[in-house]
Amino acid sequence: MSDEIMEHAKQIAANIIAGQQTISAPPVPPDNEVLNQILTEIQNQVPEGKVLNREEHITDAITMLYDEETDGLNWTSFDLSNNGPNDVFFSVNDWEWAEAPLPVGQTINIDLKKRAAIKRVYLKCDSGETADVGFIIMK
């Protein structure tokens, strides 16, 4: 790839990240397949821009968050806050018992750095415990 094409791709990426250019930039000429691939990769990394809030009550049974209508949650990232009264375990996309719980009063950010990469979120408390959790979601 020529240096000129690479610099052009870097400038497009920098402008998108800085909010000075949108993804609906003029199409790249068809003879620039590599540049089109770079632009597609950048588009896949930029979130839709929708921010949502969600609250859930978690028990000692595994809770799976999933949206059947859209074939998954399709989140890019989320903040998970544990409002208590107990610790909560969580996993993203596949259920795996977490080594350590999210303690009461703490928030964790999960960012997979790719649009719609988060399809499922699993949550669970220890036996006999519950927790109320809050999400701030980036789609």
Q: Which domains does the chain have, with CATH numbers?
A: 3-45 (no CATH), 51-138 (2.60.120.10)
The pLDDT assigned to 101 comes to 94
The pLDDT assigned to 108 comes to 97
The pLDDT assigned to 30 comes to 58
Name residues of the chain where pLDDT drops below 50: none
User: Beta-carbon neighbour count of residue 90 at 10 Å?
Assistant: 21
pTM of model > 0.75: no
Q: Residues of 35-59 as b/e, b for ≥16 C-beta within 10 angstroms? A: beebbeebeeeebeeeeeeeeeebe
The pLDDT assigned to 50 comes to 85
- Reported as a single tens digit per residue, the pLDDT across 83-99 is 999 999 999 999 988 77
The pLDDT assigned to 31 comes to 64
The pLDDT assigned to 28 comes to 52
E strand or H helix at 17: helix 3-17
Integer Rg of the chain from CA: 19
The pLDDT assigned to 27 comes to 59
